[in-house]
């Protein structure tokens, strides 16, 4: 009887994904996979829910996926996460992300809900200029 190598199996079970570390394109740890999000019409993975220590759980679309192995999932860019800081193009602090709103049919970012002091407001995705250590937006 031959011994099977699990890393070469064609299919992975859902439990093999849970707990895998997620890293952005710069190698920063984004958290661990908490659950898989499956499209109920196509029965394919549309994304994952990720949680990092004390932060809120957040969604990462499959369009961000680059490669996966037994210990980590590498992303092809830097995702927007709850708690990320926002600045305008001049560098002025605008607040922190508290909610990320997606279009559930396309998994595209629609808007960010941010909090600055005691106020919260919605920022449309077309105002986002860049994502890195901080998210830059047009005023």
Residue 53 sits in a domain whose CATH number is 2.30.30.240
Considering the domain boundaries, does residue 8 fall inside one? no
Same domain, 93 and 123: yes
DSSP state of 39: -
Place of tokens 């031959």: 2
The answer to whether residues 22 and 60 belong to one domain is yes
10 within a domain of the structure (yes/no): no
* pLDDT at residue 10, rounded to an integer: 67
Establish if 20 belongs to a structural domain.
yes
Number of domains in the chain: 2
Question: Which of these three, 75, 93, 122, is where a domain ends?
Answer: 75
Residue 2 pLDDT class (50, 70, 90 cuts) = very low
Domain shared by 20 and 66, yes or no: yes
What is the extent of the structural domain holding 70? 16-75
CB-count exposure of residue 26 (10 Å: 0-12, 13-18, 19+): exposed
For the stretch 13-40, pLDDT in tens is 767 889 999 999 989 899 999 999 888 8
Q: Report whether pLDDT(4) > 50.
A: no
CA gap 30, 80 in Å, rounded? 10
Query: Which DSSP symbol is given to 114?
Result: E
Q: pLDDT tens-digit profile of 62-77?
A: 888 999 888 899 999 8
Residue 103 CA to residue 30 CA, distance in Å, equals 22
In the chain, alpha helices (H): 14-17
């Amino acid at each position: 009887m031959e011994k099977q190598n699990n890393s070469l199996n064609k299919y992975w079970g859902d439990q093999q994904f849970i707990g895998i570390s997620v890293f952005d394109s710069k190698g920063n740890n984004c958290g661990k996979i908490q659950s898989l999000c499956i499209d109920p019409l196509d029965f394919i993975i549309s994304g994952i829910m990720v949680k990092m220590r004390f932060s809120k759980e957040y969604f990462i679309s499959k369009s961000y996926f680059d490669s996966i192995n037994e210990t980590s999932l590498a992303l092809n860019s830097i995702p927007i996460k709850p708690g990320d800081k926002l600045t305008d193009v001049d560098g002025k602090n605008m607040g922190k992300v508290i909610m990320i709103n997606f279009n559930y049919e396309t998994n595209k970012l629609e808007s960010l809900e941010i909090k600055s002091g005691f106020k919260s407001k919605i920022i449309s995705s077309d105002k986002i200029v860049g994502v890195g250590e901080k998210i830059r937006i047009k005023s």
